[in-house]
Amino acid sequence: MSESPPRGRATPRLIGVGVGPGDPELVTVRAVRVLREADLVLVPVLAAGQPEPGRAESVVRAYTGMAERVVFALSDRGGVTRRRAAAWEAAAARVERAFAAGAETVAFATIGDPNVYSTFTYLAQTVRDRVAEVRVETVPGITAMQDLAARSGTVLTEGTESLALVTLTAGVEPFRAALAAHDTVVAYKFGPVAGDAVAAAKDAGRLDDAVYGARLGLPDEDVRPAGELGGPVPYLATLLLPARRTTRGGKL
Amino acid sequence: MSESPPRGRATPRLIGVGVGPGDPELVTVRAVRVLREADLVLVPVLAAGQPEPGRAESVVRAYTGMAERVVFALSDRGGVTRRRAAAWEAAAARVERAFAAGAETVAFATIGDPNVYSTFTYLAQTVRDRVAEVRVETVPGITAMQDLAARSGTVLTEGTESLALVTLTAGVEPFRAALAAHDTVVAYKFGPVAGDAVAAAKDAGRLDDAVYGARLGLPDEDVRPAGELGGPVPYLATLLLPARRTTRGGKL
């Protein structure tokens, strides 16, 4: 299926660009440059015809008018569904067509960091299967974990503390184990098992300091103590349980 | 020791600004704005009169000519030394004098992220002890972990994988425990115990995929397989052991 580019052409590059959690100011200077210089910028959306922009799309549009939507399925519950695999294939085919039409650089904008629970990982692999000579690069981005720490005034790690990052799509047990073994624990994709996760934090005696965050940097941002949660929680919500610190700062 | 600001003045703000691992392009748009708007920008250096700029200082000077050095001790081995505590007090006193002289915003530039193993945590606490009404904020920054992942082409987490971040100033045992319990493990401040840490990675059967990084984004950057290490390793070096992935991407 892959075609070699014409001789003398630059190696085609696919660049995963982390655009941070949603606030357009939380992208790096490099991300802005790469988005502006790319021959094609792709942004993932849940549905091609959706009226509102996707979260990555909103950030990209703050810096360049050129952003083309590709449809990605959000959920990774239950592993790789046929629908998700079909979405990656369609996006990879779009990248392949762009290279065939002469594009040297295709950027794919991804919320957060392209190497942390990102759909870019799957897209890159699928493109590699189609375009053997492609060079894949990434530009790091601010993660939700870091943004929630900043917005809530919570130190993630200091001194010799450790940090565990888990996703609750793996169930609550890895989260419970992390609570037992680590100083600071961050859980992503907290929505579907919010009740169980809050119970696990409470069982560990760590609910009092826990911080909840969703829609970070968006107009309807929600950051508050996890103990105050009630009602449904969005899929992409984050739970942050900081290390227990009996003394602080200069008085450690 | 604290004096209230004159009535009618804005609340003094101390902002910890993450400037990323060293490459000036890896700062956020917000960091650039805050550094340019601040009344005073402080940068940590190891010695006041050192001829070469500090790592944070180099990044800051790419965006603003205004950066004043404060001396910080790097090592946190052996807990809080008298020298480190004195450094924080001197820096906090400088911040206090700036507020007293009318500054509304003081920015402190810190390598990486101000909430991840940052001296900013200690400075903020020391300033709070002196200036009761100070408002402390942070601007997140790209961490060495993320930069090393991007530069080495290593995915940090995908699917349901977990990640543990430890510092080897805590010794090698927490690192060994993390290797046993987590998919991806990142160890900071790897230099002082490099030999023991490499042995631990080898014992866990995970040395083959391990990536080593130091001086990321600097002219003498060193990124290579950890198995190829020999000789002394810088204090701030990072070791990244990615999850073992038998299948990849669209073929998960």
Tokens of A134: 């492609």
Q: Are residues B129 and B213 in the same domain?
A: no
Tell me if A174 and B157 make a contact (CB, 8 A cut-off).
no
Q: Which of A15, A77, A143, A160 to mutate to test the interface with B (most CBs of B within 10 A)?
A: A160
In a domain, B8, yes or no: no
Across B33-46, average pLDDT: 96
Greatest mean pLDDT among A20-34, A188-202, A226-240 lies in: A20-34
Tell me if A28 and B28 make a contact (CB, 8 A cut-off).
yes
Across B180-207, average pLDDT: 93
Give the pLDDT score at A2. 47
Among A93, A112, A139, the domain boundary falls at A139
Sign of the Cα torsion A224, A230, A234, A239 reads: positive
More confident residue, A82 or B111: B111
ipTM of the prediction: 0.92
Question: Mean pLDDT, chain A, as a whole number?
Answer: 90
Q: Is A80 in the B-facing interface, judged by CB distances under 8 Å?
A: yes
The pLDDT of residue A33 is above 70 = yes
Give CA–CA dist A31/B25, Å, rounded. 8
Give the pLDDT score at B251. 29
A246: confidence class by pLDDT, cuts 50, 70, 90: low
Give CA–CA dist A230/A220, Å, rounded. 16
- Which alpha helices (DSSP H) does A63-183 contain, by range? 82-100, 120-130, 144-152, 173-181
Beta-bridged to residue A211, according to DSSP, are A225, A240
% chain A with pLDDT above 90: 75
Q: Are residues B78 and B32 in the same domain?
A: yes
Tokens of A142: 């601010």
Q: Are residues B156 and B241 in the same domain?
A: yes
Across B87-115, average pLDDT: 96
Strand order in the sheet with B105-110: B68-71, B40-45, B105-110, B13-18, B135-139
Q: Which of B63, B123, B165, B175 to mutate to test the interface with A (most CBs of A within 10 A)?
A: B165
Give the domain range for residue A198.
144-245
Give the pLDDT score at A188. 95
Tokens of A145: 């974990």
Q: Are residues B109 and B186 in the same domain?
A: no
Q: Which of A23, A77, A121 to mutate to test the interface with B (most CBs of B within 10 A)?
A: A121
Q: Are residues B178 and B238 in the same domain?
A: yes
Across A23-42, average pLDDT: 98
Residue with tokens 């909840």: A212
φ and ψ of A115, to 5 deg? -110, 10
Tell me if A156 and B115 make a contact (CB, 8 A cut-off).
yes
In a domain, A252, yes or no: no
More confident residue, A15 or A8: A15
Express each pLDDT in B5-26 by its tens digit.
555 678 999 999 999 999 999 9
Give the pLDDT score at A10. 85
Give CA–CA dist A110/A18, Å, rounded. 5
In a domain, B5, yes or no: no
Give the pLDDT score at A231. 81
Question: Mean pLDDT, chain B, as a whole number?
Answer: 90
- Answer yes or no: pTM beyond 0.95: no
Determine the residue type at B221.
E
CATH number of the domain to which B229 belongs? 3.30.950.10
Which candidate, B62, B36, B34, B77, places its Cα nearest to that of B171?
A: B77
Q: Are residues B107 and B193 in the same domain?
A: no
Q: Are residues A53 and A149 in the same domain?
A: no
Give the pLDDT score at A58. 96
In a domain, B204, yes or no: yes
What total of structural domains would you count in chain A?
Answer: 2
Give Cα separations from A189 to A197, A240, B129, B187 (angstroms).
11, 12, 37, 25
Q: Is B172 in the A-facing interface, judged by CB distances under 8 Å?
A: no
Beta-bridged to residue B163, according to DSSP, are A165, B184
Q: Which of A29, A115, A153 sits opposite B149 (nearest CB)?
A: A115
More confident residue, B183 or A66: B183
The pLDDT of residue B225 is above 90 = yes
B249: confidence class by pLDDT, cuts 50, 70, 90: very low
% chain B with pLDDT above 70: 91
Give the pLDDT score at A16. 98
Give the pLDDT score at B109. 98
Contact A165, B162 (CB under 8 A): yes
Give CA–CA dist B212/A16, Å, rounded. 22
Tell me if B142 and A138 make a contact (CB, 8 A cut-off).
no
Q: Which helix (H) or strand (E) holds A201?
A: helix A194-203
Express each pLDDT in A144-198 by its tens digit.
999 999 999 999 999 999 999 999 998 899 999 999 999 999 999 988 899 999 9
Identify the burial level of B221 via C-beta atoms within 10 angstroms of its C-beta, where 0-12 means exposed, 13-18 middle and 19 or more buried: middle
CATH number of the domain to which A75 belongs? 3.40.1010.10
Among B139, B156, B186, the domain boundary falls at B139
**Helix, strand, coil in percent for chain B, rounding step 5:** 35, 20, 45
Q: Which of B30, B79, B156 sits opposite A115 (nearest CB)?
A: B156
Give the pLDDT score at A4. 53
Tell me if A146 and B140 make a contact (CB, 8 A cut-off).
yes
Q: Is B96 in the A-facing interface, judged by CB distances under 8 Å?
A: no
Pairing of the two strands B238-241 and B184-188: antiparallel
Helix (H, G, I), strand (E, B) or coil at B68: strand
Give the pLDDT score at A85. 83
Q: Are residues B125 and B156 in the same domain?
A: no
Residue with tokens 């602080």: A248
Give the pLDDT score at A75. 53
The pLDDT of residue A131 is above 60 = yes
Q: Are residues B151 and B105 in the same domain?
A: no
Across A95-107, average pLDDT: 97
Contact B187, A188 (CB under 8 A): no
In a domain, A63, yes or no: yes
In a domain, B4, yes or no: no
Q: Are residues A36 and A112 in the same domain?
A: yes
Helix (H, G, I), strand (E, B) or coil at B102: coil
Q: Are residues A23 and A127 in the same domain?
A: yes
Express each pLDDT in A47-80 by its tens digit.
878 889 999 999 999 999 989 999 987 654 545 6
In a domain, A190, yes or no: yes
Beta-bridged to residue A70, according to DSSP, are A44
Give CA–CA dist B241/B226, Å, rounded. 9
The pLDDT of residue A248 is above 60 = no
Q: Are residues A85 and A156 in the same domain?
A: no
% chain A with pLDDT above 70: 91
Among A139, A173, A199, the domain boundary falls at A139
Give the pLDDT score at B1. 44
Give the pLDDT score at B2. 47
B80: confidence class by pLDDT, cuts 50, 70, 90: low
In a domain, B43, yes or no: yes
